[in-house]
Amino acid sequence: MPTRKPKIFVVHLGCSKNQVDAERQVGEMLNAGFVTTETASKADYILVNTCGFIEAAKEESINAILTHVKGKKAKQKLIVSGCLSKRYGEDLEKEIPEVDYWVGTYKPGELLAKMGIDQPTGCNPDKLPRLNLGGLPHHAYLKIAEGCNRRCAYCAIPNIRGLQKSVAIEDLVKEAKELEAQGIKELTLIAQDTTYFGREKKNKSETLTNLLKAILAETNIPWIRMLYWYPAFIDDELLDLMAKEPRLVKYIDMPIQHSSDSVLKNMLRKYTRQELRDILRKIRAKLPTVTLRTTVLVGFPGETHEDFEDLMDLLQEIKFEHLGGFVFSPEEGTPVMAMKKLAPVDESDARARLDAITEFQEELAAQHAEEMIGKTVTVILDEVAEESEYHFYGRTEGNSLDTDDIVKVLEGDGEVGTFRQALVIDAEPHELTVRLL
């Protein structure tokens, strides 16, 4: 009689970088004989992969852990991994003894070793296939580096994940080829600071541009996307490659955080307002059809009304297609905690500033939607629209998975994971309705 394979249920929280960690962790477990289940009550092991970046994320992670503590059966084992566990593991072990195994951010073999399970003979954890936790069989993230060499005043990531360590181009190309063999049609490159890729190495050929050239040469993946650009490390060679290569999606995600020189200096961001403006204008000039996404942070200590107006002026000039905004929240262990001379911003003022940005961005989104009606766009069909008047849900190349707008296919047949030309027949902010051609 065959031995019953232990079942694992996975709860993933946090960013795409954390998702890749969970995919690798679960990949190890599958290789060791586990199988996944989509029902927590049927699992022998429950893995909660946590986020510990900001207060709201920490609360969500704690709530998820406690939910599974409450529902835990007698013989079930609860595993907690990820940034929250890395950052507060020792304290949490004392507070939540019901958790059986605590591990931090992903380290090959660490979880199985804690569980007393040997890796199969000859197994290299770094080379194992990942379990796709993204929900779409045709999309995958390629994590090109771990950690961050920036020391932005508000950010705890260097404390949690350490300094940047870029993966070798050779290894990344091999992983990209393996993902392509699994049916991946859209590959999204991620890191804490994607444009800093390879810069910490002595080998000056290990650059983001050369990585992209290698992936383009060795694969036929139709869409290659990049997230998390830092404004100070964008050069002409990279932009020129994007301009001439149709498989490099004309989409740039660049969290600027702010534009005021005084706020940028206090945030320890390594660029000025003029440098930021110059690179954004250069991007618009070299890539006329580019979709720009950014993130801004308001309410940082010392931010004045004039600083905020400076930010609004830049947003009105550049007109980012997508924007996410946050109100500053202090994080222990970050440089800003020692900046006692910076005056705190009243929370109501900070929220009013974020509301003003959101209102402006919604007006832009409405304008953009109206301009799209009647245009022909390329759409990737992500999923069948179950129990709906629509046939499929998808995205254009201007929409990154999980963060941006969706496309609703009202008319036309097709297959999930394929690219189709479509006519935009209606549009609302953050939503296009199309007919497949």
Please check whether residues 364 and 391 belong to one and the same domain. Answer: no
Can you read off the two tokens belonging to residue 277? 């403006």
Q: What is the mean pLDDT of residues 101-109?
A: 85
pLDDT at residue 184 is higher than 90: yes
Rg value, the chain, Cα: 23
Determine, yes or no, domain membership for 2: no
Confidence tier at 229 by pLDDT (50, 70, 90): very high
Residue 41's domain comprises 7-126
Q: Among residues 219, 174, 227, which one has the least CA distance to residue 197?
A: 227
Residue 431 lies in a domain: yes
Are 173 and 80 in the same domain?
no
- Model confidence at 1: pLDDT above 50: no
Q: Which of 71, 98, 126 is the last residue of a domain?
A: 126
Where does a domain end: 85, 102, 126? 126
Q: Which of 164, 48, 165 is closest to 111 using CA atoms?
A: 48
Shared-domain flag, residues 188 and 56: no
Assigned domain for 73 exists: yes
| Span 293-303, average pLDDT | 97
Same domain, yes or no: 241 and 343: yes
Q: What is the sign of the dihedral through the CA atoms of 298, 199, 285 and 398?
A: negative
| Tally of domains in the chain | 3
Percent helix, strand, coil in the chain, to 5, is 40, 20, 40
The answer to whether residue 182 sits within a structural domain is yes
393: CATH: 2.40.50.140
188 falls within a domain? yes
427 or 202, higher pLDDT:
427
- The rounded distance, in Å, linking the Cα atoms of 406 and 253 is 17
Region for residue 122 given its phi and psi (left: phi exceeds 0; alpha: psi -120 to 50; beta: otherwise): left
Average pLDDT rounded to a whole number, residues 271-290? 97
Number of H helices, E strands in the chain: 12, 18
- pLDDT tens digit sequence for 345-361: 999 999 999 999 999 99
Please indicate, yes or no, whether residues 362 and 409 belong to a single structural domain of this protein.
Answer: no
Tell me which of 104-108, 122-126, 132-136 is least confident: 122-126
Q: How far is CA 4 from CA 1, 33, 49, 428, in A?
A: 9, 10, 25, 51
Reported as a single tens digit per residue, the pLDDT across 360-384 is 999 999 999 999 999 999 999 999 9
Residue 34 and residue 8 in contact, taking contact as beta carbons nearer than 8 Å: yes
> pLDDT: is 397 or 35 the higher one?
397
- What distances in angstroms separate CA 75 from CA 7, 43, 118, 251, one per listed residue? 12, 10, 21, 48
Distance separating alpha carbons of residues 23 and 167, to the nearest angstrom? 17
Same domain flag for 35 and 122: yes
Query: Is 1 a member of any domain?
Result: no
Q: Which of 96, 126, 156 corresponds to the end of one domain? A: 126
195 band by pLDDT with thresholds 50, 70 and 90: very high
pLDDT at residue 407, as a whole number: 95
Q: Is there a single domain that holds both residue 366 and residue 377?
A: no
CATH number at residue 115: 3.40.50.12160
Check pLDDT > 80 for residue 130.
Answer: no
Domain containing residue 146: CATH number: 3.80.30.20
Query: 46 with 166, same domain?
Result: no
Question: How large is the average pLDDT for residues 15-30?
Answer: 84
Q: Is 263 in the same domain as 286?
A: yes
pLDDT at 160 over 60: yes
| 19 and 154 together in one domain | no
Q: Which residue has the higher pLDDT, 269 or 93?
A: 269
Please indicate, yes or no, if residue 94 is contained in any of the structural domains. Answer: yes
| pLDDT of res. 392 | 94
What pLDDT score does 125 carry?
A: 54
Pairing between strand 7-12 and 45-50? parallel
Q: Let me know whether 117 and 150 are in one domain.
A: no
Instruction: Tell me what the mean pLDDT of segment 99-122 comes to.
Output: 81
Establish if 167 belongs to a structural domain. yes
| Same domain flag for 155 and 29 | no
